[in-house]
Amino acid sequence: MTSFPTPGDLGETLIGEEQIAARVAELGEQISLDYAGRNPLVIAVLKGSAIFVADLVRSIELPITLDFLAVSSYGEATKNSGVVKIVKDLDQDVSGRDVLIVEDIVDSGLTLRYLLEYLGGQQPTSLKSCTLLLRDDQEAGGPADAPVDYVGFKIPSSAFVVGYGLDAAQKYRNLRYIAEYRTD
């Protein structure tokens, strides 16, 4: 029974707790300015962004509405097929709302592009996205080109990371910091 991740799987801390808190506060300030006078519908993509959005919305000084949706992306093999499935849909009506999608990490950008199209088809007044992490990949069509409006941190393209909501096989979401996860 060695498939269970152990603390030995954790690598370097990439982003510490205080660094995360400071950046989340900045994002909240920026969003508060950009949406002044409005009440955005903040949509968190489960499960990865649950921890991030909990801190982010408390840094936004506006009357927001919070909703959640969950997606599954059918694993690695179909990553390029564009198949993303909604496994838990919204409770709130998107039409006429200023919608802000909150993601944990934009990797290939597939999930985000899918959600922008899906929600964009439901007549929101505006539609923007915020991600805690963006994988820094300079390839054309890669995540660097993904339409993200607010980015917490860029991370190296090679790093698989866990913590602060992000998991490896459902583990480590509750770390207070973001660490590299060793897969070798």
Q: How far apart are CA 22 and CA 38, in angstroms?
A: 24
Among 19, 32, 92, 108, binds ligand IMP (CB under 6 A): 108
- Residue placing its CB nearer to ligand IMP in the complex, 127 or 162: 162
Q: How far apart are CA 140 and CA 26, in angstroms?
A: 29
Q: How far apart are CA 166 and CA 173, in angstroms?
A: 5
How many amino acids of this chain bind ligand IMP (CB under 6 A)? 17
- Residue placing its CB nearer to ligand IMP in the complex, 76 or 91: 76
Helix axes 17-34, 50-57, angle to 10 degrees: 60
Q: Least distance from C-beta 144 to Mg ion, angstroms? A: 18
Q: How far apart are CA 94 and CA 118, in angstroms?
A: 11
Among 19, 73, 122, 157, binds ligand IMP (CB under 6 A): 73
Among 10, 24, 110, 116, binds ligand IMP (CB under 6 A): 110
The answer to whether 62 and 85 are in contact (CB under 8 A) is: no
Tokens found for residue 65: 């509405």
Q: Least distance from C-beta 91 to ligand IMP, angstroms? A: 21
Residue 136 bears catalytic tag: no
Among 40, 48, 152, 163, binds Mg ion (CB under 5 A): 48
Q: Contact residues for Mg ion (CB under 5 A)?
A: 48
Hey, which residues are catalytic here?
107
